[in-house]
Each structure stands twice: as structure tokens, then as C-alpha cells.
Structure 1
Amino acid sequence: MYLKISQILILIYLTQFINAQDNFLVKSDNFEISEEEFKVRFELTPKVKTGSDINEEKTNFLLTLAAEKLWVSEILANGNYNKENLEQYLMNIERFYVRDAYFKDQIADKIVITNEEIQKEMEYYRSIFYFNFLYSDNKSEIDSLYSELNKGISIDSLLTNRDESQEQLSPVQVEYSQMNIGMEEKLFSLNINEFTKPIEVDNDWVIYQLRDKKSKGLSNQEFNDAYQKSSSRLREKKTKALYEIFIKEFYKDKKGRAEEKEFKLLVNKLTEVIQKKKDKTDEEKIILYYEDILRINEDIEYSILEKPLLFVGEKEISLKEFIHYLAFKNFEIEKSNLANLPFVLNNYIRKFIELEFLYLEAKVKGYDKLPAVQKELEFWRDNYLAQLYKNEITDSVKTDFEKNQNLNNDLVTEVKIVEAVTDDLESVNKILASIDSGNDFEITLKELNINLKTPQFNSDEYIPLVRTGSYKELISEMNIGEVIGPLNVSSGYSIIKLLDRREIKSDSLSQLLREQNLFNEMENVLEEKTAKLAVKNNIKFNFDSLNKVRVTDVRMIVYRKFGFGGVLNAVPFINQFYEWKTIYDNIKELSL
């Protein structure tokens, strides 16, 4: 068994500035695909392990990318899409990239690290620290203990008969990067037998005393690793410090507010949607997704949607715009906390206002006009429009699909799947790291202390392949025993394992067979239409140049972590779609 996508999750900070290239891999009447665009999309898109050589994989991906561009050209030409929804979607994407560019200019690019600072950081890395601690959930008690320490009473005496003494029969060992940066700074700078002031930790209080410090030897490889990790950790510390200074200064004169009438209206509409969804899920957490929240727009008069809900300084944010923001973010609330819905919504509003001040200031400074930001937005725009076109075609096929055939002689594919679903990236890492170490998927899920969501599929049952939804294309390419993930799903991230596959007679399964045939028909129609669009657009490929493009072929799913907050896929995800090229070649050959 192996992972089709590696467990490595890369968080990319800051905008990648993409340089325009003159050497194009695809040219047509309406679009071009440069080497640089191909390289970025190829390397940052998670790919299924197929056994193909790298040139074949590059070719298939280029054809997939070309199909996306062809669909975009067609839907832009016919104008058959909701322009307002596209505008709101792109605005929410733009907020990430524009704030990120502002962060880069104001904070990240101002970080300077000297060799002396790295050496000091490496000293922390090479050290093992030993601490005793005093703990209390009462501020008065911890202050009294601190006073006793200052009088010269030893921590050993104070620990006598205290509950926390059982956790430190010998001093607690701590090594580099095991604590958060703020705590690490306080503790590692202590001298032997020096103690901290009371430190608040999760509403409790702790006093630490450094009892001993030992150095550990490093091999040459360990030394190089230590240098890299120390440099990275030091940059993280400096970034955090500069960020805190910047934020304190930035927000000192900023004011935002919400309109009470529109706020109450939104609370009422959210309550209606939540009540309808509450009884349909066993999950404690209720999540309103894109479609759930956008239904609110349909229940509110347009004139009211245009009214301001928020004021970010002098900038008005309409009720409609904020509803689109909530739809983009997804709205989450615990069932047990429904009575506090206004408070939960207020937290969303407060966070939005904080980030919107940064976005508006970044726009004033022109970061939204940067070529790299515009190129990133083009990726997301194309992906959004391409999906709309694909949906339009598949919906049309559904409407027209009325085949009469002898069902009893056909077979239906069924699969058995085990699935893990979580909204926590750290949990994803734990699961995949365990599997990559050779542990069984099902045993891993039982042994790891991870809070998983209810999976879509029951591992005890066979289900028709056509009813695996967005998974069906990936599952159809998997071998039994293979694992794939993490996959982005509405409730977070999914990791699936194919347990078994079988073909069964279609007796009494005529509806399933129709669904399977419908899926095949959708693929056939989309391939044919894509091939014809390629002819219509006079598409030309430069496969010689493509074979010379050097790429990093690492199996991973890549996320981008943005300055000032937020995480997205590094690039929009796109399913492989390249079989249309055979039809295209046949059309071209017949036209000769």
C-alpha cells in the first residue's frame, strides 16, 4: 500500500511573484499558456500516482490546463454565468493576496537576521532544559507562591504536598521548538535556578524555574539541520515581534461598526437556515456552506441587500457583500451554542472588520495592481468559470439523457471504502504520517486520538461507484488497498482507502446502471465539446518545449498561508482531463 498523495503539507507564506515568459506551451485565438504558468500549476497541484513517466504526466496536465482555458473562453463568449457571484467570489480571493502583499512589504521584507543571532538560536537548539513548575488556577495563590520564591524559599519546599509535584518527580525536560515562541523566549533566557513571574496559560497560572541545562552533540548532518531550523524559527520570532508592533500602531485609530437593524435581520435569516439543517445532521457542529448561505440572498429583497450592514471606517459594506463573505468562509456554530448566535455572528463581523481595514489600506497603496496578484486572481477566475461551464454541460446531458437499453446484460461497478474526515490539518498530518510509516489505515484511525467527523461512506457496505460523488473519477483509477488524500471537501479534508471493488449484474439495479451510463455519457460529451472548442480556437501545442520544462515532481498537497491570516490551496485544484485530445486529433486528421 502507498499514498497517492504525500503527507507533506507545505504552508507557503507571501505572494509568489510570477514573471511573464515569452516561451508559450499553448497558443490559441483567445488564450496562451506560458512555461511559467504551467510550471506553477503543475508543481502546486496534487496529482494522483499513475505510473506514467514525467513527460507523459506533464503532457496530460497541459491538456487538462488547456481544457480549462477552452471552457473559460466559451463561457466568457456566451456570457452564461452570474457576473455578480463571480465578482463577489473573486473579491474574497483578492482579499487574501492583497493583504499578503501588504504583509510582505511592511513586515516580511523588513526582517534582518545576523549570524550572531543564528548562533544564539542554535545554542537553544543544542540545549536540553530542565524545569520545575508551580501551578494554580487561582491568581492570588500563584502570587503568594511567587512571593515565597522571592523570599528565598526553594521550589522543592513549595512543591511538597502539591498536586503538580507528581508530574515532576524529576525536572521536566524541554527541547527546542516544543513550546510556542512566546513561552520559549521566557523560559530559555533564564539562568540556572532563576524563575519566571507568574505566566497565564489557558486561564491558569504557572511559574517555571530552570534547574539545569545540558548540551547535546550534533553530527554534521544534524548541525546543518539545526542551522536551517534555527534560522527559520528565528525568522518566525522576528516576524511575530514586528507583526505585533505593526498591528498595535495600525489599529490605534481604527473604528468599525454594524447597523443594528440589518444585523438582526441577518441573525434571523441564519437562524432559519440553521434550524432547517440542525435536524438533518448528527454532528455537534453545524456548518453552513456556500449554497446554504447564498439562499439567504433569495429571501431578502434586493433593495435591502444593498443597504450597508457594516462600516469599516467610512467604507460601507453591504448586507449582500457580507453574506457572500460568509458563504466563502462557511459559518460554523455548535448546536449547544445556538442561543448565542448573535455573539457568534458578531465574532465573524469583528474579524472581518479587522482584516478589511488591512485590505482597504493595501488597496490604497496599490497592492491589488501588482502583476503577481492579478495573475493569481486569473488562476482562480479561470477555475471558477471552467467549473461553471462543466456544470452547464453535465446539467444539459442529464436533461437529455433518455437511453433505452437492455440492462440485464450489463454490469455495475461497486466499491467498498473507508474514509476519515477532519477539519484539522494537524490531524491530517498525523494520519498520513502514520500510514506512510507502514501502519494500517483502519488501525491508525482507531489508535490516534483524533476527533473525526462523520464520513460520507460506511466501510461495511458496498456502494455504486457512480454514487461516490466527486470521488468517482479518482476512485476509478485506484487499486485495491491504495490510500489517497487529503482531498478538499465541504466539511474539511478527506482521506480515503479503497478496500474492494466488484462488478455485479444489473438485475434490479436499473437505476444504478442508468447513473453509471449517465456518468460515462457526461465524460464523452465533455470530451467531444472540448475537442471541438480546441478546433474552434485554433489551438497549437509546443510539446518540444514542454519536454524541456524542468519541474519538481513531488507528491504533495500544498497550501498557502497568507500574511495577516488565511489559508487556501496554493493553486486552484483541477481534475485531470486529457482524453479529449484523441478526439481532437481525429477531427484534425479528417479535415486534412
Structure 2
Amino acid sequence: MIKNLTLLFYFSLCSFFSAQQDVENIIATVGGIEITENEFIERFEFTPQFNLQIKTQLNARKLDFLFTLIAEKLWAQEAIKNNYDINSSIETARYAIEKMYVRDALYKSEITDKIIISDAEIKKGLDRAVFSLNVNFIYSQDENEIFNLYKLLKVGVPFDSILVERSEYFEQQNSIAVEYGDLQDDVEDSVFALKLGEFTTPLLTADGWYIFYLVEKESKVMASRQEEENTINAVKKVISKSKETELYRNFYINFFKNRRVDVDQKLFKQIFLKLHAALKAKESLLKEKAPQDLIHFEVSHLFEIENYLGETQLGLPFLQFEKDPVTAKEFLRELIFDGFNTTSGDSLFLLEKFNRRVRTTIERELLAREGYKRGLHLLPEVKRSVGMWTDNYLFQAVKSEILDSVIVSDSAALAEYKKINKNEVYPVQVNIIEVLTDSLELINKIRSDIDAGVDIKILAAKYTEREWTKPKQGEFGFFPINAFGDIGRIAAKMNIGEIYGPLKVPEGYSIFKLIDKKEKVVKAPLKSFELEKEKIKRNLAENYAYHELLEKTADFAGKNKIQIDYKKLKSIKVSTINSFAIRYMGFGGKITAVPLLAPFTEWVNKWLKQKQDLP
């Protein structure tokens, strides 16, 4: 049973906070960076937390999360001092995320801000929303056929007599329920205008021609004022969505009319051939690949392509805008940042998918440039969001570099092995079932399925991308809590049966359930040093890196002025329901609602002790 219920939902536009509100609601300063109440609430509520349902621990959880945020800000400042912000990977990530927010602001300006709903439209919607319809339909993709069938109906041939002879009859032996908002606008107008026993003219939709027949029309009774308000809000939502779709369609047609951007065909062919070879090779390594399993473009593939092209070709214009063309290197770096995957390594299938991606990239680049031209990157809410993500990218980059810099020698690994063989106490060991994926949509579905009661083991067997756990339906087997980085550290604090996640890990996003835990034991390993060496090295490297991170965070905290408004922090009202959301950006693109952070508070005691030790 999941103890911390998680609410999942999507949203496309963030709440826009005024600069004045932020100034008035600063809860902490870290050197030159301010943490506002708005950022704290947003990130706290969209980051997995422990024991939120225990009200007596809520203030402690808020303080823990604030210290985790403070650590991120400390490292972001230190990273900037050491010029990490001009690192090509950070620059790519920052610019890519900024373009997303600029496009999103453009979408708000051109689409959502222009949605106006009149009282007459609400009344028309309410007149329909208070009825439930039951219909049957005749369907054909052939225009001549549907109009010939319509002629038969007009001369009196019963609708049922025609329907029963057709293939679509089997999916509607019981009539189909239709509610307000289920159909496209012009089809809905025709269907809701019907009287019992009447049929529509042939109606063209995206997937073919339909003739609808009204079987039954039932009135709904609003039993309370709350139901009436809910109905009004639902009507407004349907109207708003319809207007948004129409505004988007008109903007898209007008904006892209007469715009053309050429692609360097030689570079396109070279990139595609290497991309195809890499993904095809990866596909061949996948055992028992299901048709829906994704094959991902990885950093190693990126480096292969970049090495193949060389610096000269990487600097050539790939997307040939008249001004500031996008180079092959810029395109590839953004491709890895946004992610690219396929369900098949088939060359024709992949070519079509890659071609669509190039077209989408051109369209999004044109939209972003329009946003920059209008100065949308200077909006306070855009700058705030981009700054939040940049701080997180800098923190993650430093963490990765620290881990990569640790070199564990064979002698150090042997010493650790001998130490264990002296019947030293083993740390606490845990066993988890994990689902790992780098797909945001999939992680959202998995979390939703878990909340609906689906066994995580079933989901792991179907979706996890951690190959070595697939045969065991995502089960790791017992491992010490000092292994597997944040996964081990978080699992150590969990109770058996609890589920945590998603957690951002280098491979993507991880959701895991603690299924068992062993206390410290005294037992020598049965495996030889050679068999255990690489695992010991990995564990030592992660431990060395983590302790270095703790020590340096405490040192940075001592060198920077940290101020916390504890009274304000305590007064902040936050949701006690763990939430995870994907933000779908205007004009395309998606990210997690906020940058995800693993709990990181162990440095605080070291920092406080340093302060006490000062003369």
C-alpha cells in the first residue's frame, strides 16, 4: 500500500508571480541568491517528500527541503565562480530551457490571453450540458458511399436496417453515450439539434464521414449549487479549449505562411546514417524487445557522431536561417537535451521520424526567435524560471564532475575487501523494485497506475529500462544503502512498502518500492575479490564523492552569508499531498513541473558544528 498518496496532473502554463510579490516574500538568502516563498512552495509541492501526511512533521519537512534548496544555490554560485556557466553543456541546457519559456510566453500572448468567453456562449453550452445523448452512427471513409446511404435514409429506409449490415454495428450494439464537449464543434451543433429518431446529414471529420442518429435524450438534474457550479466550470473549460484550438490553428497558419528554412542535405544524410547505425546497433542488443519498447539516442551516440563529423563540419550551418543559422553541433546538442527515441531501427521508419524532428526544430526555433524579438525573455516570470533551472543544472553538473573525478585504485578496493573479510559490520541492506525510464509521459503513467493500485512489479516488468533487473521484474536484490547513490540513501529512510519517486537519476527517472530491509550484520562475503572488485570500486567512488559533496557544501555555507526567515517558513501553507506534474509548454516541449532534487541535508550538522567551533 502506498502511504504517501501522489496526485498526478498536467499543466501547460505556470502561475505568473509579480516581482513585487517575490520581493515581499523572501524566506532565505544564500550569498547573492534569494529563495522566495513562490519558488519554495512550487518546488516543495512538486518534489517527492517523506511523511507529509504526518502533520507534526510538516515543519521539519519544510526545513529539510529548504536546506536542500540552499545547497543547490550554494553550489550554483560556486559553479559560476569556476566558470561552469560557460561550459558548452550548461549553455546548451540553459538556452534550450530559455527558448521553451520564451515560446511558452509567446503562446500565452498570442493564444491563451486572447480567449474571451461571452455569457451567450456559456448559456449555449449549459443548454447542452444538462442533457446526455445516446446515439448510433454510420461511418465511411468514402464520400460517395456515405451520401448514397444518406439518400436511402431520406427515402425512408430505417437507420437500424442499414446499420445492422455494416461493420461499425458491432462496436455500438448498445448506443453510444455523448456528452457536451465530446464532439468537434460543427458535429456537436448538428447532433445536439436532433430530435428523437432524427439523423444528421453526412458530417466530415478528421477520420472520415459520419451520419448520427439520436436514440435517446436524457435530462440531468442538478442536485446542489455545487453541481451547478461544477457544470458551469466544465462548460467554460470546453469553450476555452475549443477557442484555444481555433486561435492556435489560425496563428500557426498565418505565422508559418511563406516562411522557408533550408537544411544542409549533406549534413542531414551524414547525421542520419550515423544515428541509424547507432540505434540499430542498440536495438540488436535488446533481448526480447517488445514493439512498444523505446530505443534512445544517448550521449555516447552523440559523441560518436561528433567525432565522425569533426569540428569543421560541426561548425557548418545545418538549419540555414538567413540570420544566425543553427550549426550541426548546436542541433545535435539540442537533440540530446530534448531527447530522441524510436520504437524501431528500421531505416525508413527512422528517416520519417528524424525528418519530422528536424521540421519541428525549425518551427520551434522560428517561434523562439519571434519571442526574443518581442523581448519575452526579459519577462520576470521567464527570467525567474530559467534561473531556477540553471541553478539546478549547475548543481547537477558539479555533482557529476565530483563523481567522475574520483579514482579508486585496486589497492583501495582490496583494502576495503579485506576490511569486510575481517567480519566488519555490514551496513544496512535494502531490496527494492524499481521502474526506470527517461520518458516523462511514461513516468507519469506509471505513477498514476501505482496510485490506481497496479502492482509496481507488473509495471517494472513491462516498462523498466534497467536491463539487469528486467528478468526479476525490477527487483534489485539486497544491496547496502551506501550503493546506488541517492537511491540507496533514500531507501535507507523508507519503511517497507513505501514508494518513492520519481527521482532524477543519470539514466532518467526512477520510481521504487522498498520491499525488504536487513539490519547491520556481521558476515564475510562469499565472493572472491575479482568478482567483487568493480562493485566495491563503484560503491567507494560514490561514497567518496558524496562525502566530498557534504564537506564542500558545509564549507561553502560557512563562506556565504545564509539568512533564513524561520517565522515566514513556518507560516507557509503547503499541500500535504505528494504531487508530480509534467509541464507541457506552449508551442511544444515538455519538462517536469520543477527541477527535481533528492533530499540533501546531512551537510547542515557539519556547517553548524563549524559555526560553533569558530572563535
Give the TM-score normalised by structure 2.
0.86
The answer on whether the counterparts of 1:558 and 1:570 sit within 8 Å (CA) in structure 2 is: yes
What residue number does 1:296 align with? Answer: 305
The answer on whether the counterparts of 1:486 and 1:495 sit within 8 Å (CA) in structure 2 is: yes
| Alignment of 1:333 onto 2:333 | no
What residue number does 1:229 align with? Answer: 234
Label 1:563 to 1:238 Cα distance change in 2 as closer, same or farther (>3 A): same
The answer on whether the counterparts of 2:297 and 2:339 sit within 8 Å (CA) in structure 1 is: yes
3-state DSSP of counterpart to 2:247 = helix
Label 1:558 to 1:162 Cα distance change in 2 as closer, same or farther (>3 A): closer
Amino acid at match of 1:588: K
Shift in Å at residue 590 of structure 1? 0.6
3-state DSSP of counterpart to 1:53 = helix
Match of 1:376 among 378, 382, 385: 385
| Alignment of 1:407 onto 2:409 | no
Deviations 1:177-213 (A, max 9, x none): 5x365586356543221314243454x5433223332
Label 1:188 to 1:501 Cα distance change in 2 as closer, same or farther (>3 A): farther
Shift in Å at residue 378 of structure 1? 0.7
The answer on whether the counterparts of 2:440 and 2:591 sit within 8 Å (CA) in structure 1 is: no
3-state DSSP of counterpart to 1:250 = helix
What residue number does 1:27 align with? Answer: 29
1:116-131 matches, within 5 Å, as: 116-131=120-135
Name the stretch that deviates more: 481-490 or 354-363.
481-490
Shift in Å at residue 46 of structure 1? 3.2
Amino acid at match of 2:390: R
Q: Structure 1: how far apart are the matches of 2:412 and 2:205?
A: 67
| Alignment of 1:535 onto 2:525 | no
Amino acid at match of 1:464: F
Q: Structure 1: how far apart are the matches of 2:210 and 2:439?
A: 28
1:285-434 matches, within 5 Å, as: 285-312=294-321, 314-335=323-344, 337-399=346-408, 402=412, 404-405=415-416, 406-408=419-421, 409=423, 410-411=425-426, 413-420=428-435, 432=447
What residue number does 1:142 align with? Answer: 146
Amino acid at match of 1:271: H
Q: Structure 2: how far apart are the matches of 1:427 and 1:387?
A: 23
Shift in Å at residue 139 of structure 1? 4.6
Match of 2:268 among 263, 270, 275: 263
Label 1:538 to 1:386 Cα distance change in 2 as closer, same or farther (>3 A): same
Shift in Å at residue 140 of structure 1? 4.0
What residue number does 2:455 align with? Answer: 441
The answer on whether the counterparts of 1:190 and 1:210 sit within 8 Å (CA) in structure 2 is: no
Amino acid at match of 1:58: K
3-state DSSP of counterpart to 2:500 = strand
Deviations 1:458-506 (A, max 9, x none): 2466142555465333322222112234455688765432222235634
Q: Structure 2: how far apart are the matches of 1:310 and 1:112?
A: 38
Name the stretch that deviates more: 114-123 or 452-461.
452-461
Gaps of 5+ in 2: none
Deviations 1:49-71 (A, max 9, x none): 36562211121111111111111
Amino acid at match of 1:16: F
Amino acid at match of 1:416: N
Name the stretch that deviates more: 485-494 or 72-81.
485-494
Label 1:68 to 1:181 Cα distance change in 2 as closer, same or farther (>3 A): farther
| Alignment of 1:241 onto 2:241 | no
Amino acid at match of 1:45: T
Shift in Å at residue 336 of structure 1? 5.3
Amino acid at match of 2:140: S
Amino acid at match of 1:331: F
Shift in Å at residue 517 of structure 1? 5.0
Q: Structure 1: how far apart are the matches of 2:296 and 2:4?
A: 29
Q: Structure 1: how far apart are the matches of 2:442 and 2:214?
A: 32
What residue number does 2:106 align with? Answer: 102
The answer on whether the counterparts of 1:26 and 1:540 sit within 8 Å (CA) in structure 2 is: yes
Calculate the aligned-residue CA RMSD, in Å.
3.1
Q: Structure 2: how far apart are the matches of 1:150 and 1:415?
A: 72
Q: Structure 1: how far apart are the matches of 2:507 and 2:125?
A: 40
Amino acid at match of 1:473: R
The answer on whether the counterparts of 2:261 and 2:321 sit within 8 Å (CA) in structure 1 is: yes
Shift in Å at residue 574 of structure 1? 1.2
Label 1:165 to 1:269 Cα distance change in 2 as closer, same or farther (>3 A): closer
Q: Structure 2: how far apart are the matches of 1:89 and 1:374?
A: 15
Q: Structure 1: how far apart are the matches of 2:193 and 2:510?
A: 44
Shift in Å at residue 584 of structure 1? 0.6
Deviations 1:71-116 (A, max 9, x none): 1111211225762222221121112110111111111111111233
1:464-503 matches, within 5 Å, as: 464-465=479-480, 468=484, 471-487=487-503, 494-502=510-518
Shift in Å at residue 308 of structure 1? 0.8
Q: Structure 2: how far apart are the matches of 1:476 and 1:265?
A: 48
1:451-470 matches, within 5 Å, as: 452=463, 454=465, 456=467, 457=469, 458-459=472-473, 462-465=477-480, 468=484
The answer on whether the counterparts of 1:294 and 1:327 sit within 8 Å (CA) in structure 2 is: no
Name the stretch that deviates more: 179-188 or 533-542.
179-188
Label 1:42 to 1:185 Cα distance change in 2 as closer, same or farther (>3 A): same
Q: Structure 2: how far apart are the matches of 1:130 and 1:493?
A: 43
Amino acid at match of 1:330: G
Label 1:588 to 1:251 Cα distance change in 2 as closer, same or farther (>3 A): same
| Alignment of 1:6 onto 2:6 | yes
Q: Structure 1: how far apart are the matches of 2:524 and 2:126?
A: 66
Shift in Å at residue 311 of structure 1? 2.6
The answer on whether the counterparts of 1:407 and 1:507 sit within 8 Å (CA) in structure 2 is: yes
What residue number does 2:70 align with? Answer: 66
Label 1:422 to 1:119 Cα distance change in 2 as closer, same or farther (>3 A): farther
Name the stretch that deviates more: 277-286 or 359-368.
277-286
What residue number does 2:216 align with? Answer: 212
The answer on whether the counterparts of 2:450 and 2:456 sit within 8 Å (CA) in structure 1 is: no
Label 1:42 to 1:416 Cα distance change in 2 as closer, same or farther (>3 A): closer
1:30-49 matches, within 5 Å, as: 30-49=32-51
3-state DSSP of counterpart to 1:267 = helix
Count of residues in correspondence between the two structures: 586
The answer on whether the counterparts of 2:50 and 2:61 sit within 8 Å (CA) in structure 1 is: no
What residue number does 1:190 align with? Answer: 193
The answer on whether the counterparts of 1:424 and 1:492 sit within 8 Å (CA) in structure 2 is: yes
The answer on whether the counterparts of 1:294 and 1:323 sit within 8 Å (CA) in structure 2 is: no
Label 1:315 to 1:212 Cα distance change in 2 as closer, same or farther (>3 A): farther
Match of 1:85 among 86, 89, 92: 89
Gaps of 5+ in 1: none
Label 1:541 to 1:94 Cα distance change in 2 as closer, same or farther (>3 A): same
Shift in Å at residue 364 of structure 1? 0.9
Q: Structure 1: how far apart are the matches of 2:91 and 2:495?
A: 41
Shift in Å at residue 386 of structure 1? 0.6
3-state DSSP of counterpart to 2:23 = coil
| Alignment of 1:507 onto 2:525 | yes
Label 1:15 to 1:550 Cα distance change in 2 as closer, same or farther (>3 A): closer
What residue number does 1:561 align with? Answer: 584
3-state DSSP of counterpart to 1:480 = coil
3-state DSSP of counterpart to 1:153 = coil
The answer on whether the counterparts of 1:171 and 1:211 sit within 8 Å (CA) in structure 2 is: yes
Label 1:323 to 1:513 Cα distance change in 2 as closer, same or farther (>3 A): closer
Name the stretch that deviates more: 551-560 or 333-342.
333-342
What residue number does 2:204 align with? Answer: 199
